Every structure is written in structure tokens, then in C-alpha cells.
Amino acid sequence: MIQIIVDISELQVGDVLLAPVGTTTPQHQVERLQVNGVRVVEMLREPTLELAAVRLEATAEQAQLTYTINESRAGSVYPEAAFRPSHNVYTQPAVELAEHSREVVARAGGGYAGIAALVAEAESRFAYAHPDVRFTDGLDQVPYLSCGTTPGSCIDINTYLMASLHSAGYEAGYFFGYFFPAENNGRARDHHCWVVTRCQGEVIEWDIAHHLKAGLGPTQPGLNPRPGWRVALGHTMGHVYPTALGEASVRLLAEPHRITAEGHCERVVVGIQALDTSRQRA
């Protein structure tokens, strides 16, 4: 059993927060969420994604969320809702991107080869970075990147890959949570995301960002090309949670967000640590 501790700072008493409850994958499942420094106001459901969240109210200037993570039971699979194409500003491909993606798959011969070709195509379009301005900012579609490389984080790269995969008719899921590098002693800097494809009954995970960041060469399938450990807390971009205060919309809910007086969701300052409680008891 592992506990992920999310410390939230720079709060004001009365702040309203939105936090994920978690999800289940073939690797791990979130068993429990405990809170300190905040109180649970209401449980929320994302109606199309089959995900849950909580609306919280800060009772102190600092708070802590503790997720208890266990290995999944035998036979656990990725949530079916993660493979359903969603249509919003974060996922909708531009016409040029859709046409190009189908051409790439056709040249590769379809099937798994087509997926691998789209992964290589997405990798070739980005240089790993955390730009202040995303390549999708201000747009209502995911644009086609026709030449050169664009600075992008895991979010940017996987936004492009997901739009490409769905354009070509592939089943694919966008998962997000935390990655704890082996060298960081159980600490993560922020959230991380990756892609899972499903083709002819075969489920394969891809992490282009880690290959680019670590200089590992062409992206190969697998969850942890960099040594470390990851857990998913949710999936799919474009969440809308009906709350008693109105709808709360967010690109993805991996970390807690503050809901402003205007109803906008914004990230808060967090520290993230994983504790292996089974080893502590040994």
C-alpha cells in the first residue's frame, strides 16, 4: 500500500477547492481519500467520464490530501469511458491534422504500425519544454504542426497525439496523475500524463515526453521508460462537474484546483510525496 500526500499551501480560510477522487487502472486503484485542513462540502460526478471529485472548503491556510493506493485486483482493466472520444476545445482536431493523421496511418499499413507511426509523428513535432504559452492557446481545435518543432510539455504532446489517434479511428485514452522518479526519493514536481492505445484487443501505453526529456531515443511502448513509479488519478481532457455553485470546468483534474468567485478553476501550489507504508511496517 502506498500513500500519496498532496500538501496545499497559500490558502485562505473559506477558499473553495475541487479535487479528484481517483480512478482504477490495471496497475493501481485509489482506495481512499482523506483530507486535513479542508472539509468536504459535496461529492461530485463527471457525468460522461464516470469520474468523481470533491468540492472542498479550506478551514486553514494549509491543507493536505492523502490518497491511499493499492495494487489493482487481478483482471482489472482501464476504464471504458477513457476510450470514448470526447469533443471539446482540448480534443477536437483541425481538418488538416485529421487528414494528415489518416495519411500517416495509411502509409504505415494501419493496425499497430499505424499507431506507432502516429507516435513517431507526434514525437517529431515537439521539443520537450514547459512553455508559458501552449500551442493550442486561443484555439478551439488542435492545430496541425506542419514543420519544425514546437516546445511542449507532456500535456501538449499528448493533446496532439490523442487528436491524431482519434482522427485515424483508433481507440485511445489520455491518463493523468503523478510520476515519481526513482532518484527523487518519493517526490514528484507536478502532475504527469500519458496515452494508452487499444487496437485489436491489445492495450499499449506510450510516454513520448519521458523519451524526449531523458533523451532515450525513439519512443517505445511501456509505462516507465524512465525508472520510477506512476499512478493515474483520472483520464480524458475536458471535465465538467455540476456543483451547488454551478458548473466547474477544467482541462484535467489531476491536482486540486481553486474555484474562484467568478467560477474559474485555477491550479494551487502543492507539494507531492509518496510513502510506501508496507515497507514502513516491514
Low-confidence ranges of the chain (pLDDT < 70): 277-282
- Give the Cα separation of 273 and 282 in Å (integer): 20
Q: Give CA separation, 135 vs 87, 88, 140, 187, in Å.
A: 18, 16, 11, 29
Short-list 200, 226, 175, CA closest to 25: 175
- Give the Cα separation of 228 and 177 in Å (integer): 14
- Give the Cα separation of 277 and 274 in Å (integer): 9
Query: pLDDT tens digits for 228-249?
Result: 999 999 999 999 999 998 899 9
Query: pLDDT tens digits for 145-203?
Result: 998 999 999 999 999 999 999 999 999 999 999 999 999 989 998 899 999 999 998 99
Domain with CATH 3.10.620 in the chain: 82-233
Rounded to 5°, angle at Cα 203 from 228 and 173 = 80
Element (H, E) at 57: strand 51-58
User: Parallel, antiparallel, or unpaired for β 38-46 and 171-181?
Assistant: unpaired
| Per-residue pLDDT at 280 | 43
Per CATH, the number for 82-233 is 3.10.620
Compute how many other C-beta atoms are within 10 angstroms of the C-beta atom of residue 68.
16
| Per-residue pLDDT at 278 | 59
